Chain A
Amino acid sequence: EDQVTQSPEALRLQEGESSSLNCSYTVSGLRGLFWYRQDPGKGPEFLFTLYSAGEEKEKERLKATLTKKESFLHITAPKPEDSATYLCAVRGEQGAQKLVFGQGTRLTINP
């Protein structure tokens, strides 16, 4: 069964303090690893999709990377508006129509 584990569960940073969020996964036949941002009371907002080990994608202060067992979301010089829960999800061969999510990392950036 496909599984996703995210760490840490919560992370507090000062504005400008760079860090990384981890997403470890097991999946049969990866068809995509997804990163979403979720603000309180809102639906997940799409950030990135990665398909193969070695792939990297960037958007503003965020950079996502992928290996065969984990993905990292690097946040560089974060701002308070980057505070949110970041969700990682995988789509595998067997459950091809569904995303399997981790529990998320709650990120707080203090000014």
Chain B
Amino acid sequence: DAGVTQSPTHLIKTRGQQVTLRCSPKSGHDTVSWYQQALGQGPQFIFQYYEEEERQRGNFPDRFSGHQFPNYSSELNVNALLLGDSALYLCASSLPGTYGYTFGSGTRLTVV
């Protein structure tokens, strides 16, 4: 049973560029959340998608946007990259009405 799959695993971008990160949820899960984890810190909630709609958003600027597809997979887009966007980006999936989240291994984004 495949867990949460994220791609790519590592990425290096230049300031000002745009990036797209991808996530396939665990089989049977239809809700996807994205988190940003800076080095040495706990993950911070970016947003959650359910039924292809953004259901809740954390304290992140509009440069961060997302999308969920009919097959429940999801993308995280970040525009106008800043050095401070360098972090591990985690995707988590869950079933509606349950409180358990399964995390992927993340995408390590480095902005230079």
* Interface residue? B56 (CB, 8 A): yes
Quick check: is A7 within 8 A (CB to CB) of the other chain?
A: no
Which one of B68-76, B78-86, B96-104 contacts A? B96-104
In the complex, the chain B residue whose C-beta lies closest to that of A95 is B56
Chain B CB count within 10 A is highest, among A91, A101, A103, for: A101
Q: Which residues from 32 to 89 on chain A have a C-beta closer than 8 Å to any C-beta of chain B?
A: 32, 34, 36, 41-46, 49, 87, 89
| In the complex, A27 has a CB within 8 A of chain B | no
B positions within 8 Å CB-CB of A: 4, 33, 35, 40-45, 48, 55-56, 58, 88, 90, 92, 99-106, 108
Return 25 A-B CB contacts under 8 Å, by A number.
A4-B42, A32-B99, A41-B108, A42-B105, A42-B106, A43-B103, A43-B105, A43-B106, A44-B90, A46-B101, A49-B100, A89-B43, A91-B99, A95-B45, A95-B56, A97-B33, A97-B48, A98-B33, A98-B45, A98-B56, A98-B58, A101-B42, A101-B43, A103-B40, A104-B41
